Amino acid sequence: MKVSTEPMQNSQVLLNIEMESGEVDKYLDRAYQRLAKQVSVPGFRKGKVPKEVLVRYVGKEALFREALEDLIPEAYAEAVENQEIEPIAQPSFEIVQTDPLVFKAVVPLKPTVRLGDYNQIKIEVQPVEVSDAEIDAVLEQLREEHAVLSPVERPVAFGDEVVLDVQEVKEGKSTPLRQDLVYEVREGSRLPLPGFAENLVGMSKGEERDITLSYPADYEVAELAGKEHVFRVTVKDIKEKKLPELDDELAKVFGSDDLASLRTKVADVIRARKESSARLDAEKKIMDALVEASQVEYPPVLVEIEIDRLLTDEARHFVEGVNGLARYLTAVGKTMAEHREELRAEATQRLVRSLVLDEVVEAEKVEVTDSEVEEEVERLVAGAGEEAERVREAFSSDERKESVRWFLKRRKTMDRLLERLVAKAS
């Protein structure tokens, strides 16, 4: 076997492999032995067919293809070992010629990342503040959640909850759409169409009214855009929403001693949410800057692997997994190949960010102890509820624990970067 190598772009190497005729004969004999046990040739028992008879029966090409099933992976493995190459994924093969047998293998290698001077990066973030208006909005929402509905004998007003029978009117004929529909009359509501709620205001219990509305010009269903729609509505019941007083008694319902302490609790929740959002925003800005300052080369197959991960994540949302996803794509008129292309940009971004962050982890020499790994596993188990034992078992292997260790290394690294690179805006 003769082997030569050629460096390629994107962290790949090309292997040129030429086989000696005697080496190929060994694999042809092996292929004959295998096919002789599988193929039924008239007049012969399986495994007892002479080689020349079998070759005439299945054809030389079929025997050769069978021989390649073993030859190519074994010759490739030997070539990689002899050339001291460390592939990170399966190669792609190309048969150049068959006599003598010459084939090529494009071998994906470990990506290379050259970091810029990332310590010069400066990210500015706005300080987190919580306004009285934001607190008031949450408290008003809590009042809404504990509102009491009381029947009233007056016309419909904004804020009421009404029970409706709704029909569709076309060419003078009405067709029932919904019976006993519970509908909250909110000013500016766009459901079922803009103006529907406004037309209910002033109606009395038992009253019937035809409401003519138009679909918006930019309506998502093109054939309905701009067209009129007639609803025949009957008001069957009207209830007024009465909100509880915003006082110490309401605060006690939510586990606070008084209204002041409830406001403090609400402010803390809002602040925590904003701080979490601000951290995510800062992390994104840091990663954008890191990628911008770095040079990254990687074999294209890694993008395909990342697309596979995205597809696996999507499939989890379907009861039938990948089959369910495939059926959904068919229903919306897309092929799996087209959807893979849709995911390519996201997959590439995720891959590059991951490679750059991992290189920063190495540069920062971040360490994570076994006890920290165990603590993180226990945290995951504690949050798994009824699935706790299954989660514990899943993370019992050394491989899964190492994945947790690397996750913690990344998190520690990002904590360091946030401390060093983020400046509070004044």
- Whether 149 has a pLDDT exceeding 80, the answer reads yes
228: left (phi over 0), alpha (psi -120 to 50) or beta: beta
From 405, 402, 403, 379, select the one nearest 392 (Cα to Cα). Answer: 379
Residue 425 has pLDDT above 70, yes or no: no
Go through the chain and tell me how many residues it has: 426
- pTM greater than 0.85: no
Instruction: Pick the closest to residue 232 from 187, 179, 190, 191 (CA basis).
Output: 179
Q: Are strands 12-18 and 173-184 parallel, antiparallel or unpaired?
A: unpaired
In angstroms, the CA 165 to CA 183 distance is 10
Query: pLDDT at residue 48 above 90?
Result: no
pLDDT, residue 217, reads 81
Per-residue pLDDT of 78-122, as tens digits, reads 999 999 999 999 999 999 999 899 999 999 999 999 999 999 999
**Domains in the chain, start-ordered, CATH in brackets?**
2-110 (3.30.70.1050), 148-242 (3.10.50.40), 259-424 (1.10.3120.10)
Note the pLDDT of residue 118: 92
Decide: 250 and 143 in contact? Cβ < 8 Å.
Answer: yes
Please give the average per-residue pLDDT across 133-160, as a whole number: 94
Supply the pLDDT for residue 45: 79
Of all helices (H) and strands (E), which one includes residue 181?
A: strand 173-184
Give the residues across from 95 on adjacent strands. Answer: 103
C-beta separation of 112 from 297 below 8 A: yes
Amino acid letter for position 97: Q
Does 390 score more than 80 pLDDT? Answer: yes
Look at the block and give the residue holding tokens 């809404």: 144
Closest by Cα among 130, 216, 126, 232 to 181: 232
**pLDDT over 70 percentage in the chain:** 99
CB 73 within 8 A of CB 91: no
Q: 3-state DSSP call for residue 249?
A: helix
